[in-house]
Amino acid sequence: MRREGSPFQGLGTVAVKELADNLSSARMFVLEMLIVLTALAALYGAIDNLRQNTAEDPFLLLRLFTVDRAPLPSFIAILGFLIPLMAIGLGFDSINGEHNRRTLSRILAQPIYRDALLMGKFLAGLATLAISLAALWLMVIGLGLIFLGVPPGGEEIARSLAFLVVAIFYAGVWLSLAMLLSIVFRSAATAALVALGVWLFLTVLWPMLAPALAQVIAPPDPRFAALGLDTPDTAIWAQTLSRVSPNHLFGEAMLAVLSPTTRSLGPVFLDQLRGAVMGAPLPLGQSLLIAWPQMVALIAGTIVLFVAGYVVFQRQEVRA
């Protein structure tokens, strides 16, 4: 049976209202402050480091993103850690909040489909994250201009824009997950706890577990160990397992895009490097090609998790 009317009716209205709510909420302000302050600290470290240690670098601006000075991690590492927190903060109560405020049945009694409500909330969340990340991006470039005094080249801007797009979809994965949990769990606290649990597991525990699991699946060969080398099978398994975590995918994609000298993200045999000029930067297209699988995985993750939430939401009972 086909239903009549457009599923997008009211989408814009919902998205605009949710965006206004997101941007004006105290929660968003706190999360933004957290990210901006940590990012500023990381950038300060990076700028200090670059001023003292780098004589000449064709990609000085990009180094701002990736260089770190102990004890602070790099700007990218901080974003990889904090973007999920921001996305979860935006999404964990999006649907169950409507349930608990008892606004859901009133809103759905208006001439719109549920699709518009869910999609509008998702788009508003993604737009909020995109605005925040774009502001951060501008902040990095501005600080680079002020403190390093080197105008960025076209390729640097292009690469940092690629960073922005990947970061938005990385946030999208976590936003979709948080919204899925907000649909599945009626209590916002439960949804938030589960989302934070998944986040901690994937960003902190999984990088430690993945190599251990790889060693169980493909035990290291003592002959390689005797030579002081990693067993190829084990290394490949470790990498494959690590890539389950969006955090790892984000890190890999950023490495390829922001460090133009990156030639591969996996284990490489020596014969594959024959003829390569080590240390020479790759053209932008080639770097994007290296990061392409990671980018697609992040976009696909966003869509798959959103669709899962969509299916559950369509079948859910409205009554409280």
Residues at the site binding other proteins, with contacts judged by CB under 8 A: 1-5, 9-10, 13-14, 17, 21, 101-103, 105-113, 317-320
Nearer to other proteins by C-beta: 51 or 102? 102
Q: Which amino acid is at 32?
A: E
Nearer to other proteins by C-beta: 105 or 240? 105
Q: To the nearest whole angstrom, how small is the minimum distance from the Cβ of residue 109 to other proteins?
A: 4
Nearer to other proteins by C-beta: 51 or 106? 106
Nearer to other proteins by C-beta: 11 or 64? 11
CB neighbour list of residue 308: distance below 8 Å, 6 or more residues apart: 180
Residue with tokens 């984000």: 250
Q: To the nearest whole angstrom, how small is the minimum distance from the Cβ of residue 172 to other proteins?
A: 25
**C-beta of residue 23 within 8 angstroms of C-beta of residue 128:** yes
- Classify the C-alpha dihedral 97-13-35-253 as positive or negative: positive
Q: To the nearest whole angstrom, how small is the minimum distance from the Cβ of residue 307 to other proteins?
A: 20
Q: To the nearest whole angstrom, how small is the minimum distance from the Cβ of residue 95 to other proteins?
A: 14
Tokens read off for 320: 């409280």
Q: To the nearest whole angstrom, how small is the minimum distance from the Cβ of residue 192 to other proteins?
A: 19
Q: How far is CA 117 from CA 10, 41, 163, 187, 199, in A?
A: 8, 38, 30, 19, 26
Nearer to other proteins by C-beta: 108 or 284? 108
Q: In angstroms, how far is CA 178 from the centroid of its own chain?
A: 13
